[in-house]
Amino acid sequence: MVKDLRVTLSGVELKNPVIPASGTFGFGQEFLPFFDPDILGSLSFKGTTLQARAGNSTPRIAECPAGMLNSVGLQNPGVEAVIAHELPELRKVFHGPVIANISGFSVEEYVRCAELLTREAQVEILEINVSCPNVHNGGMAFGTAPEAAAEVCRAVKRVATKPVYMKLSPNVTDIVSIARACEDAGADGLSLINTLLGMRIDLKRRKPVLANTMGGYSGPGIFPVALRMVYQVTGSVKIPVIGMGGISTARDVIEMMMVGASAVQIGAANLVNPFACRDIIETLPVEMEKLGIDRLSDIARV
């Protein structure tokens, strides 16, 4: 049973569509005791900002039915430390194409990070997370308005020499308009969805569980929402989409590809089961055989 798992993103060939999502796989080192990262199609490393960030106060993780809440707050060592230390170490253990996830609090921060990371040989795609608050515009996230998302995209495209994928927030009323705005601004692809905004209450303390009150909800509970949004977006744009949001099995991967995703990212599942990506990659050929699929690239959008 030989199945072809290869997929392509903007000319970048991946041996399979499975990519650990940013923030759930660090820079790859944490998962070395569990499996060889070289089995992965790609790897979206931890969200990187211009300056180092300690992240939000604890507690910043909360369990909930069918998923989890997180309010980590983009904890990372800053782009210069990532380039000087994290990427050289990553190159020792992962030899495939890498996705650089970039966050910023102003257009200028996004541009500077993109300028630096687009020069890194192993970085093949820049993933621009526009779920960050715009400090110059009252704290509203860039990704909640088409004009703001497009502004970031255009600015990054001016300095990028690698494909630019805009990572979209689901916390909007019309994700299609934002996706189209990014495509019109020159985006090479899109990643969606990021986490849904949620919260939990500690009944004994009568206070929010998270120190930051609200956080991002991820896990199997959001999969139908992610599937719906990817379906809407892939029917409205012509650029490739990386689908994510609650994927935890090989069947989920195929379902996401059936709504038009060219590849997928695995997020919260990595935090529940460190073998999740390995298990999905190993199981994909079995599920493909059951469904009569020889090549994942042949899957047509429903």
Pair 175, 146: CB distance under 8 Å: no
**Structure confidence by residue, pLDDT tens digits, 202-244:** 999 999 999 999 999 999 999 999 999 999 999 999 999 999 9
The residues carrying an active-site annotation are: 132
Q: How confident is the model at residue 9 (pLDDT cuts 50, 70, 90)?
A: very high
Q: Which residue shows structure tokens 């903007």?
A: 10
What's the longest Cα–Cα distance across the chain? 56
Q: Where are the alpha helices (DSSP H) in the chain?
A: 79-81, 87-93, 107-117, 146-159, 175-184, 223-234, 250-258, 268-272, 276-291
CA distances from 5 to 198, 281, 284 (A): 35, 9, 8
Domains of the chain: 7-58+80-197+216-298 (3.20.20.70)
Q: Can you give the pLDDT at residue 134?
A: 64
The yes-or-no verdict on residue 138 having pLDDT over 80 is: no
Q: What is the pLDDT of residue 1?
A: 72
Cross-strand bridge partners of residue 189: 165
| β-pair partners for 243 | 192, 264
Say what percent of the chain tops pLDDT 90. Answer: 95
Dump pLDDT digits (tens) for 10-40.
999 999 999 999 999 999 999 999 999 999 9
What would the pLDDT profile of 260-278 be if each residue is shown by its tens digit? 999 999 999 999 999 999 9
Q: Are 153 and 128 in contact (CB under 8 A)?
A: yes
Q: What's the sign of the alpha-carbon dihedral 265, 144, 75, 12? A: positive
Residue 254 has pLDDT above 90, yes or no: yes
Measure the CA dihedral 156/162/167/168, to 10°: 60
Residue 34 phi/psi, 5° resolution?
Answer: -100, -45
At 58-108, the pLDDT tens digits run: 999 999 999 999 999 999 999 999 999 999 999 999 999 999 999 999 999
- Provide, rounded to the nearest whole percent, the portion of the chain with pLDDT above 70: 97
pLDDT at 135 over 90: no
What's the CA gap between 183 and 178, in Å, rounded?
9
